[in-house]
């Protein structure tokens, strides 16, 4: 059971929405999403009921990892527009009552950033220590056994100096040395640059990984590593004692928290670790570091009551405050696909969204989630993601395909006749926002209603979380919990299940659920106002 909290921040009970900007809306007709396109779609997000817009990286970049390889942290890449275009987005979002947070990428930069270019050119200069360099081991092997988030070793040799540099992602993304005070000063100035332009906070990429073990010791190895393994399988072959969640990380976010407090800004961490609850808890629960840390278990759960309960219980029991929830992102397959695709996948994704809406913390939608989009179909010749090699399933292109706004050539994403940067992936008229807005029974209207109901029960932000057991046959297939006088429940079985709980049904994913009080349909979720006798 989590303790009750007092709402005192603008992000308490807010709903966020991730915009993968390359694929959201193309306003200048080059086939790539941009700020001009985004500003025209903000009304749609306000209509949907979004409180916080999170924009993925738009900084100057060679695009080896589509913007997560930053070459200049205070410049807009011309692909996306100009600083004036960015300002227009912030101004319009604020006028519509929405906050804007932006991605900051502090773990690494592009190898084209001037910092790294200086480090290469002058091994004895001041920029060398902006990055992490080591000689080979005594036997000539790599400095340690770390594997990267994209799989494979994390060290690349700089032949000119004979030293290796560390990169937890691509070789073109060298890791920054956060033990160097100069790096900390650089980023504090970067934060203030964007806060002074009106942003309301930051989603901090790889928040758990900034500080590395000072001795760069090898991690304990749990299983043999094979290069053919999926990247997460390689990652799980090690106990990550020395490459992430080092205790010195806290001091970084404490200093950032001081800056954020001056602007009433949100610090949202991409805290992608599902095992180190005690280390993660300190980053978000003290009130002086991160305000919210993402828990990504919902992107990996199975559609079973046991999996859902354990996925929720782990962080709720182990982290005392500041949780962010998402079942989709630009990095993982869309939940509709993971849950079986088609109508079944859409039902389950919507039901999971109902449960996430009731958990303590801040839920996020990923663009197109409200349309019930599955992964787009990408052919081998169209693959652009550097992750996964030739394995299409291991890549991320399918969940990054452009948003289908309208029918016809360009699908409202871009002008007719323009080839988008990624194919639409087989989208149909039924997938488009325009068709769904005209259909009151569509997914987008269901998500809109869900967010409206959640807003009317904002008092749950101050209520304790309590698991409840429903009596009756097949009750083990129902996931249910209570926040004050509101119960959230979902039937995760393929059969209708008795629901003896009575009360006013505020929301039901199944049309009949709004009327029926006795049965939950397969994959149905409800929000129920329960009046205690």
Active site residues: 205, 262
What are 58's two structure tokens? 């738009």
End-to-end Cα distance, the chain = 23
Closest to 293 measured CA to CA, from 257, 261, 346: 257
CB 401 within 8 A of CB 376: yes
Residue 133, φ and ψ in degrees, nearest 5: -120, 145
Closest to 268 measured CA to CA, from 280, 251, 284: 284
Q: How many CB atoms lie within 10 A of CB 229?
A: 17
Phi-psi region of 107 (alpha: psi -120 to 50; beta: other; left: phi over 0): alpha
Q: Rounded to the nearest 5 degrees, what angle is found at the Cα of 424, between the Cα atoms of 420 and 426? A: 150
Distance CA 115, CA 133 (A): 14
Burial class (CB in 10 A: 0-12, 13-18, 19+), 454: buried
3-state secondary structure of 505: strand
Closest to 90 measured CA to CA, from 203, 204, 195: 195
Q: What is the largest CA-CA distance in the chain?
A: 77
Q: Rounded to the nearest 5 degrees, what angle is found at the Cα of 440, between the Cα atoms of 437 and 443? A: 70
Show the beta-strand stretches assigned E in 292-418.
Answer: 292-295, 323-326, 362-366
Distance CA 69, CA 65 (A): 6
Closest to 454 measured CA to CA, from 411, 490, 483: 483
Contacts of 438 (CB under 8 A, 6+ apart): none
């Amino acid at each position: 059971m989590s303790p009750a909290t007092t709402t005192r921040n603008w992000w308490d009970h807010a709903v966020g929405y991730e915009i993968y900007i390359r694929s959201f809306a193309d306003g200048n007709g080059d086939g790539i999403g941009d700020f001009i396109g985004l500003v025209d779609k903000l009304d749609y997000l306000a209509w949907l009921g979004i409180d916080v817009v999170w924009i993925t990286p738009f900084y100057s970049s060679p695009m080896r990892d589509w913007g997560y390889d930053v070459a200049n942290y205070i410049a807009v890449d011309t692909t996306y527009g100009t600083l004036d275009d960015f300002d227009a987005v912030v101004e319009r979002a604020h006028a519509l009552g929405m906050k804007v947070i932006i991605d900051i990428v502090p773990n690494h930069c592009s190898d084209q950033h001037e910092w790294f270019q200086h480090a290469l050119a002058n091994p004895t200069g001041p920029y060398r220590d902006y990055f992490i360099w080591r000689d080979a081991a005594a036997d000539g092997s790599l400095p340690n056994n770390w594997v990267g988030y994209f799989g494979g070793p994390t060290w690349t040799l700089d032949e000119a100096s004979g030293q290796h540099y560390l990169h937890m992602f691509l070789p073109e993304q060298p890791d920054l040395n956060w033990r160097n005070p100069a790096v900390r000063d650089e980023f504090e100035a970067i934060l203030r640059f964007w806060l002074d332009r009106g942003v309301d906070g930051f989603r901090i990429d790889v928040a758990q990984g900034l500080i590395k073990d000072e001795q760069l010791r090898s991690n304990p190895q749990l299983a043999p590593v094979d290069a053919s393994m999926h990247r997460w399988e390689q990652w799980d072959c090690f106990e990550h004692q020395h490459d992430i969640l080092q205790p010195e990380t806290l001091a970084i976010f404490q200093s950032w928290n001081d800056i954020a407090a001056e602007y009433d800004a949100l610090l949202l961490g991409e805290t992608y670790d599902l095992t180190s609850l005690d280390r993660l808890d300190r980053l978000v629960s003290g009130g002086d570091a991160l305000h919210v840390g993402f828990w990504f278990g919902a992107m990996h759960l199975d559609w079973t009551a046991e999996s859902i309960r354990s996925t929720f219980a782990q962080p709720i029991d182990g982290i005392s405050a500041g949780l962010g929830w998402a079942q989709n992102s630009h990095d993982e397959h869309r939940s509709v696909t993971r849950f079986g695709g088609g109508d079944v996948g859409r039902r389950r994704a919507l039901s999971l969204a109902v449960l996430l809406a009731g958990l303590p913390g801040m839920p996020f939608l990923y663009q197109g989630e409200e349309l019930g989009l599955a992964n787009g179909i990408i052919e081998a010749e169209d693959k652009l993601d550097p992750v996964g090699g030739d394995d299409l399933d291991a890549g991320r292109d399918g969940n990054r395909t452009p948003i289908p706004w309208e029918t016809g050539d360009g699908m409202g994403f871009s002008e007719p006749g323009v080839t988008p940067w990624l194919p639409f992936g087989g989208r149909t008229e039924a997938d488009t926002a325009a068709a769904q807005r005209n259909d009151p029974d569509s997914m987008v209207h269901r998500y809109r209603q869900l967010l409206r109901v959640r807003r009317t029960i904002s008092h749950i932000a101050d209520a304790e979380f309590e698991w409840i057991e429903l009596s009756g046959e097949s009750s083990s297939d129902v996931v249910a919990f209570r926040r004050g006088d509101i119960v959230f429940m979902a039937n995760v079985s393929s059969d209708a299940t008795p629901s003896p709980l009575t009360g006013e049904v505020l929301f039901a994913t199944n049309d009949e659920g709004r009327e029926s009080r006795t049965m939950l349909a397969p994959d149905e979720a409800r929000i129920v106002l329960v009046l205690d006798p």
